[in-house]
Amino acid sequence: MSTLSDLVQAQGLSSTVDIEWLHLLVGDWQLLADLAFADIVLWVPTEDGSFIAVSHARPSSSATLFYRDFVGQRIKSQWVDKVTKAFETAQIVDSDSPDWYEEMPTRVRAVPVMRRLDPSGKETTERPIAVITRHTNLSEARTPSRQELTFNECANDLFRMISVGDFPDLGAPKAPRRGAPRASDGLIRLDVDGIVTFASPNGLSAFNRMGFEGELEGRSLAEVTTELLAGKLIVDESLPLVVTGRAPWRTDIEARGVTVSLRAIPIRDQGERVGAIVLCRDVTEVRHQERELITKDATIREIHHRVKNNLQTVASLLRIQARRTHSDVAREALGQAMRRVAAIAVVHDTLSEGLNQSVDFDVVFERMLMLVAEVAASHNTTVRPKKTGTFGTLPSEYATPLALALTELVTNAVEHGLAGRDGEVETIAVRTHDMLEVKVRDNGAGLPEGKVGSGLGTQIVRTLIQGELSGTIDWHTLEGEGTEVTIEVPLLYLQK
Q: pTM for the complete prediction?
A: 0.67
Kindly state whether residues 271 and 244 are assigned to the same domain: yes
Kindly state whether residues 212 and 339 are assigned to the same domain: no
Q: Inform me whether the pLDDT recorded for 494 exceeds 60.
A: no
Band (pLDDT 50/70/90 cuts) for residue 495 is very low
Mean pLDDT of 466-471: 87
Question: What is the count of structural domains for the chain?
Answer: 4
The 10 Å Cβ neighbour count of residue 408 is 24
Mean pLDDT of 474-495: 77
Q: Inform me whether the pLDDT recorded for 319 exceeds 70.
A: yes
Mean pLDDT of 76-102: 90
Asked, for residue 16, whether it belongs to a domain, the answer is yes
Q: pLDDT by residue (tens digit) across 233-273? A: 566 788 899 999 999 999 999 988 899 999 999 999 988 89
Per-residue DSSP letters for 324-354?
H---HHHHHHHHHHHHHHHHHHHHHHHHTTS
Mean pLDDT of 34-48: 94
Kindly state whether residues 404 and 314 are assigned to the same domain: no
Residue ending a domain, among 97, 130, 164, is 164
Asked, for residue 369, whether it belongs to a domain, the answer is no
Kindly state whether residues 153 and 200 are assigned to the same domain: no
Q: Which residues contact 38 (CB under 8 A, 6 or more apart)?
A: 59, 62, 65, 134, 135, 136, 137, 155
CA proximity to 39, closest of 69, 83, 19 = 69
Kindly state whether residues 436 and 349 are assigned to the same domain: no
Q: Inform me whether the pLDDT recorded for 82 exceeds 70.
A: yes
Residue ending a domain, among 282, 301, 318, is 282
Q: pLDDT by residue (tens digit) across 101-113? A: 777 888 999 999 9
| Structural contact between residues 212 and 243, judged by C-beta atoms closer than 8 angstroms | no
| Structural contact between residues 409 and 374, judged by C-beta atoms closer than 8 angstroms | no
The CATH code of the domain that includes 391 is 3.30.565.10
68-82, 102-116, 462-476: range with lowest mean pLDDT: 462-476
Band (pLDDT 50/70/90 cuts) for residue 55 is very high
CA distance 14 to 132: 16
Domain encompassing residue 69: 4-164
Q: pLDDT by residue (tens digit) across 131-167? A: 999 999 887 767 789 999 999 999 999 999 999 999 9
Q: What is the mean pLDDT of the chain?
A: 85
Kindly state whether residues 12 and 157 are assigned to the same domain: yes
Asked, for residue 363, whether it belongs to a domain, the answer is no
Kindly state whether residues 389 and 478 are assigned to the same domain: yes
Q: Inform me whether the pLDDT recorded for 179 exceeds 70.
A: no
